Chains A and B, each alone.
Chain A
Amino acid sequence: MIPAVRFQQVSRHFGPVRAVDSVDLEIAPGEFFAMLGPSGSGKTTCLRLIAGFEQPTGGHIEIFGETAEGIPPYRRNVNTVFQDYALFPHLNILDNVAYGLMVKGVGRPERTKAAEQALELVKLPGYGARKPGQLSGGQRQRVALARALVNKPKVLLLDEPLGALDLKLREQMQEELKSLQRALGITFIFVTHDQGEALSMADRVAVFNNGGIVQEGTPHDIYRRPKTRFVADFVGSSNVIAPDMMTALGGEKRWASLRPEAIHVAGEGVEARVEHASFLGAATRLSVDIRGTRLHVMLPAGANVPDVGTSVRLVWQPVDVHYMDDAA
């Protein structure tokens, strides 16, 4: 099968800065793919390379088997939902959505119909006559989505599209995006620095750092088996334990990760001091101190919460300890 997007040793250097450095990547058609990483890790540059806003300084990019480098953005059947939406302020919502069809020479009745359908798809029917300035952030986000989807792109790029929304709206949009992607079958490539968003929405995740991909896999893989210390640190809530501490705890002298929910309070085991307890609703998260190392322990709802300052004993299964590389 021809991949929707293929990077072969792609680099984008800005002078001495290696924004993207020798990245290999294959994204399958119809996949919901997330590029996850801290700011400056190269994920957005990768997206811009696919959109055509940047040209690679090295390597080869293919979109559905066709060479993409040297092709301007307006000749790529790829559309972008911009981080701050980039709606045209002088056009009303309908003209914004119909813009892509207008510049491609689609007649007015036809493009109006398509734009109205797209607005319906994103649950904003009847908003066509308004101006972008009259819409809320969430609504603008939907318009940006409709404006991209109306062109029926082969690949849809989303650059931190939910970043500016409040939590509740963000969770709602996550679900909607996911079901939209399933219904339309378009390849979605999604850039985010929010690990929760990446893990909950994507079929596959690539974790970026320093211009390269550190680990690629399903959200489950990334969460359960982080390849390096960086991934464990960045992706999440997992406890990262230094090699010296691991030997002290009776394990191998390597970096390891241990998920908070795998640690249990018991009558025996390693002694730890409770430093802090946060009530999270469905669970309580303890911060404990074991000889200078801070660990998080997730207590299920209903469990006894020890007082702050007291000592507890902790146990975990050796299989839950996941060893990883020290590399970034």
Chain B
Amino acid sequence: MTALALTKPAELSETSILPGRGGFFGQLSDAFWRHPRLLLFLMLTPPLLWLGIIYIGSLIALLLQSFFSIDDFSGLVNYEFTLATYAQLLSPTNFDIIIRTIIMAALVTLASAVVAFPIAYYAARYAQGKWKALFYLGVMLPLWSSYLVKIYAWKLILAKEGILTWIFEKLHLSWLLDGILNLPVVGGNSLSVSYLGTFVVFVYVWLPYMILPTQAALERVPGNLIEASSDLGATPSQTFRTVLFPLALPGIVAGSIFTFSLTLGDYIIPQIIGSSRLFIGQAVYAQQGTAGNVPLAAAFSVVPIVIMAVYLWLAKKQGAFDAL
């Protein structure tokens, strides 16, 4: 047998218990090792204070505001508990705003999910190496540029004298564009002043928020589940319905929380691109600004919170998070 030998650097100690490193940080390391909860406590306290006081606190302040009312004559806030503001919220004009916003948010979410799924599926299943990097770049790149710049760019694309009109003209498809613009409700003078335009820009702007969680969920679905499903006799469409979609659902729901709530709260896109009818975000902006009716603005802000709570509750009830 050959003799085994290890040469030993001079710095290594001969004792079986190594001496403490000493100094403040050495002591600290030992203390944290002995009391792991202490470290956790120190790490979590600042963010919890931030979340608890500044974030949750301001939400509660908002909620309280909505139970006050405004004095119609003086324009001052009357600090007494009342449901009058909520009654005002449900008046036909304001209720219209809420319904319009919810429908838009739902359609934007649905369209985002439909557009995002194939892209996310490709990225999760097939893209590798530099193609995957390209995918991330392609999805994230629009997020690097200013939101306002993108929206104004879209205004130029969708405007009556814009690129899209020009393209349709060159393809001799102007009749198609006119037909679309002549549709009731969604149409308008040009795409940039129609609901359709608002919808297209919403989908464009929020799409990355749908693609990324969907892609993350699909990435976690082992490839052999797809094979197993096929092996057991499921056609590709059956596999999609019974295996792929249920397993991707938590990701799609996570993405839809983004697209839905961002659409509910946005006030810039419908202001720049769309008909002049208001969305919740614009109503909040107008009420707390020019109108100075902070209680009504607060009540409007409560609407998306309630809708999101109901949406999450329904999603949970439907088992959207079972595969988590």
Q: Determine if B231 and A89 form an interchain contact, defined as CB atoms under 8 angstroms apart.
A: no
Q: Determine if B228 and A80 form an interchain contact, defined as CB atoms under 8 angstroms apart.
A: yes
Q: Determine if B247 and A103 form an interchain contact, defined as CB atoms under 8 angstroms apart.
A: no
Is A74 located at the chain interface by the 8 A CB criterion? yes
Q: Determine if A88 and B225 form an interchain contact, defined as CB atoms under 8 angstroms apart.
A: yes
Is A168 located at the chain interface by the 8 A CB criterion? no
Given A86-B222, A86-B224, A88-B225, are A80 and B231 also a contact pair (CB < 8 Å)?
Answer: yes
Q: Determine if A74 and B228 form an interchain contact, defined as CB atoms under 8 angstroms apart.
A: no
Which residues of the partner chain A approach B225 to less than 8 Å between Cβ atoms?
86, 88
Q: Determine if A100 and B232 form an interchain contact, defined as CB atoms under 8 angstroms apart.
A: yes
Q: Determine if A151 and B224 form an interchain contact, defined as CB atoms under 8 angstroms apart.
A: no
* Least distance between B76 CB and chain A CB atoms (Å): 56
Is A82 located at the chain interface by the 8 A CB criterion? yes
* Least distance between B241 CB and chain A CB atoms (Å): 10
Given A82-B224, A103-B242, are A89 and B323 also a contact pair (CB < 8 Å)?
Answer: yes
Is B159 located at the chain interface by the 8 A CB criterion? no
Interface string of A70-89 (1 = CB under 8 A from B): 00111000111010101111
How distant is the Cα of A74 from the Cα of B231 in the complex, in angstroms?
5
Given A86-B222, A90-B323, are A74 and B227 also a contact pair (CB < 8 Å)?
Answer: no
* Least distance between B324 CB and chain A CB atoms (Å): 10
> Contact partner of B233 among A86, A90, A103, CB < 8 A?
A103
> Contact partner of A147 among B224, B232, B235, CB < 8 A?
B232
Is B182 located at the chain interface by the 8 A CB criterion? no
Smallest Cβ-Cβ distance to A89: which chain B residue: B323
Those of A210-248 within 8 Å (CB) of chain B: none
How distant is the Cα of A89 from the Cα of B242 in the complex, in angstroms?
12
Is A279 located at the chain interface by the 8 A CB criterion? no
* Least distance between B213 CB and chain A CB atoms (Å): 17
Q: Determine if B234 and A74 form an interchain contact, defined as CB atoms under 8 angstroms apart.
A: yes
Interface string of B23-47 (1 = CB under 8 A from A): 0000000000000000000000000
Q: Determine if B232 and A99 form an interchain contact, defined as CB atoms under 8 angstroms apart.
A: yes
Given A80-B228, A86-B227, A88-B243, are A74 and B233 also a contact pair (CB < 8 Å)?
Answer: yes
How distant is the Cα of A148 from the Cα of B323 in the complex, in angstroms?
23
Those of B282-324 within 8 Å (CB) of chain A: 322-323
Those of A261-307 within 8 Å (CB) of chain B: none
Which residues of the partner chain B approach A90 to less than 8 Å between Cβ atoms?
246-247, 322-323
Smallest Cβ-Cβ distance to B243: which chain A residue: A88
Which residues of the partner chain A approach B246 to less than 8 Å between Cβ atoms?
90
A-B contact count (CB 8 A): 63
Q: Determine if B224 and A84 form an interchain contact, defined as CB atoms under 8 angstroms apart.
A: yes
Is B238 located at the chain interface by the 8 A CB criterion? yes
Which of B230, B231, B238, B322 counts the most chain A CB atoms within 10 A?
B231
Is A258 located at the chain interface by the 8 A CB criterion? no
Q: Determine if B228 and A103 form an interchain contact, defined as CB atoms under 8 angstroms apart.
A: no
* Least distance between B235 CB and chain A CB atoms (Å): 6
How distant is the Cα of A319 from the Cα of B23 in the complex, in angstroms?
77
> Contact partner of A79 among B232, B234, B242, B247, CB < 8 A?
B232
Is B261 located at the chain interface by the 8 A CB criterion? no
Which residues of the partner chain B approach A79 to less than 8 Å between Cβ atoms?
231-232
Is A51 located at the chain interface by the 8 A CB criterion? yes
Q: Determine if B227 and A103 form an interchain contact, defined as CB atoms under 8 angstroms apart.
A: no
Interface string of B188-228 (1 = CB under 8 A from A): 00000000000000000000000000000000001011011
Smallest Cβ-Cβ distance to A73: which chain B residue: B230
Q: Is the interface of B mostly helix, strand, loop or mixed?
A: helix
Given A80-B228, A103-B242, are A74 and B323 also a contact pair (CB < 8 Å)?
Answer: no
Interface string of A138-149 (1 = CB under 8 A from B): 000000000110
Interface string of B237-264 (1 = CB under 8 A from A): 0100011001100000000000000000
Smallest Cβ-Cβ distance to B222: which chain A residue: A86
Given A90-B322, A99-B232, A103-B235, are A73 and B227 also a contact pair (CB < 8 Å)?
Answer: yes
How distant is the Cα of A87 from the Cα of B229 in the complex, in angstroms?
9
Which residues of the partner chain B approach A53 to less than 8 Å between Cβ atoms?
227, 230-231
Which residues of the partner chain A approach B238 to less than 8 Å between Cβ atoms?
103
* Least distance between A311 CB and chain B CB atoms (Å): 18
Q: Determine if A103 and B231 form an interchain contact, defined as CB atoms under 8 angstroms apart.
A: no
Q: Determine if A89 and B247 form an interchain contact, defined as CB atoms under 8 angstroms apart.
A: yes
* Least distance between A68 CB and chain B CB atoms (Å): 14
Which residues of the partner chain A approach B322 to less than 8 Å between Cβ atoms?
90
> Contact partner of B229 among A51, A78, A84, A99, CB < 8 A?
A99
Which residues of the partner chain A approach B232 to less than 8 Å between Cβ atoms?
74, 79, 99-100, 103, 147-148, 151
Those of A132-169 within 8 Å (CB) of chain B: 147-148, 151
* Least distance between A147 CB and chain B CB atoms (Å): 7
How distant is the Cα of A89 from the Cα of B227 in the complex, in angstroms?
14
How distant is the Cα of A112 from the Cα of B315 in the complex, in angstroms?
28
Q: Determine if A51 and B323 form an interchain contact, defined as CB atoms under 8 angstroms apart.
A: no
Which residues of the partner chain A approach B228 to less than 8 Å between Cβ atoms?
80, 82, 86-88
> Contact partner of A100 among B222, B233, B323, CB < 8 A?
B233
* Least distance between A148 CB and chain B CB atoms (Å): 8
Q: Determine if B233 and A151 form an interchain contact, defined as CB atoms under 8 angstroms apart.
A: yes
How distant is the Cα of A80 from the Cα of B227 in the complex, in angstroms?
9
Smallest Cβ-Cβ distance to A78: which chain B residue: B231
Given A51-B231, A86-B222, A147-B232, 10 other A-B contacts at CB below 8 A?
A72-B230, A73-B227, A80-B228, A82-B224, A84-B222, A89-B247, A90-B247, A99-B232, A99-B242, A103-B235
Q: List 29 A-B contacts (CB under 8 A).
A: A52-B230, A53-B230, A53-B231, A72-B230, A73-B227, A73-B230, A80-B227, A80-B228, A80-B231, A82-B227, A84-B222, A84-B224, A86-B228, A87-B228, A88-B243, A90-B322, A90-B323, A99-B229, A99-B234, A100-B233, A102-B242, A103-B235, A103-B238, A103-B242, A104-B233, A147-B232, A148-B232, A151-B232, A151-B233
Q: Which residues of B contact A (CB under 8 A)?
A: 222, 224-225, 227-235, 238, 242-243, 246-247, 322-323
Q: Which 6 A-B pairs have the closest CB atoms?
A: A100-B232, A86-B228, A103-B234, A86-B224, A73-B230, A90-B323
